[in-house]
Homo-oligomer: A and B are copies of this chain.
Amino acid sequence: MAVYTEVSDEELSAFAAQYDLGAVLSCKGIAEGVENSNFLLVTATGPYILTLYEKRTRREDLPFFLGLMEHLSEHGVDCPLPVHARDGQALRELCGRPAVIVTFLKGMWPRRIQPQHCAQLGEALARLHLAGAGFDRRRENALSLPGWQELFVKCADRTDEVRGGLRDMLAAELDDLAAHWPRDLPSGVIHADLFPDNVFFSGDRLSGLIDFYFACNDFLAYDIAICMNAWCFEADGAFNATKARLLLTHYQRVRPLSAEELKALPRLCRGSAVRFLLTRLYDWLNHPPGAFVRPKDPLEYLRKLRFHQSVRGIGDYGLDVTP
């Protein structure tokens, strides 16, 4: 549920007058997303999304995010396209915050994940990875191993408030990840946050990807690991190997994975589980009482981590391991 900034009608009219979008007919805050303020803006030329970037999105990263959306869109990925004002600029300011209008993407994110959603997700993710190849900006992943270690230091003293023994378990897992994290897998631009609410379907077909505000350069297969955690577990915590198999096989129809990538997958899944466990743990321990946004349960990712720790190989992810 996210609208942190109240935009007045006067401010909005002055802002919209810088674009060739026609008169503003309506602007309503959208109850989705947690990082930024999003509005559904309807003008004489149709619906758009207006985003105001709140403090957790760093201003210096915005050219990377907006440039990436333009690059991907030019290369056939269905995603929101930043709209340029008459002066050519897409990134402007509104209510003291960086602000952008992007095109409206039809579709809804799936509330109940079906296996077919995972098949289409796999294909779209591989296309995203291929399309990102020619993008000339770089952004380090602030939430990779060094970032996790930093977060853990900030949380360590209070980690056991959430679950007894969690601190020692996480310390051991971080040591293990530091010792065994892959060094040399195919890299490129990854989405890094491709949860179901960032993937739209129109009817049965995937209609586009949104929310590129964690995108960065990292191992491409790490993006798959994030999706496996976000899409292939049931509400009761059970891993759904059918969904994982469809995700992986449909990904490979577009971009085959190397033997090294497949071998690294369980470790990448553990790292991805630790990443979301730690950011959720941090938010859980640090959200103000009565906060606007209800923090997500960190322990959901502890259960996912435990599953990946128990995996013996990619056969457990539903893949056929015969050569």
Contacts and interface: CB of A to CB of B under 8 A. Distances in A.
A10 interface: yes
A108 B7 CA distance: 10
Contacts of A26: 47, 104-108
Contacts of A296: none
A292 B10 CA distance: 29
A25 B292 contact: no
Given A3-B1, A6-B111, A111-B8, A25 B289 contact: no
Contacts of A107: 25-26
Contact of A31 (B1, B9, B105): B1
B106 A42 contact: yes
Interface in A9-59: 9-10, 12-13, 23-32, 40, 42, 47
* Number of chain copies forming the complex: 2
A67 interface: no
Given A12-B108, A32-B28, A107-B26, A290 B289 contact: yes
A181 interface: no
A2 interface: yes
A294 interface: yes
Taking residues whose C-beta sits less than 8 angstroms from the other chain, chain A's interface range is 35 or more
A89 interface: no
A187 interface: no
A307 interface: no
A164 interface: no
A112 interface: yes
A29 B32 contact: yes
Could you tell me the dominant secondary structure of chain A's interface residues? loop
Contacts of A10: 111-112
A96 interface: no
Nearest to A114: B10
Nearest to A109: B9
A30 B30 contact: yes
A28 B28 CA distance: 10
Nearest to A11: B111
Contacts of A105: 26
Given A23-B203, A28-B32, A112-B8, A290 B290 contact: yes
A42 B47 contact: yes
Given A10-B111, A31-B31, 4 more contacts: A3-B31, A7-B111, A30-B31, A292-B294
Interface of A: 1-3, 6-10, 12-13, 23-32, 40, 42, 47, 104-112, 201-203, 289-292, 294
9 nearest CB pairs, A to B: A29-B31, A8-B111, A25-B106, A31-B31, A3-B31, A9-B108, A28-B30, A1-B1, A26-B106
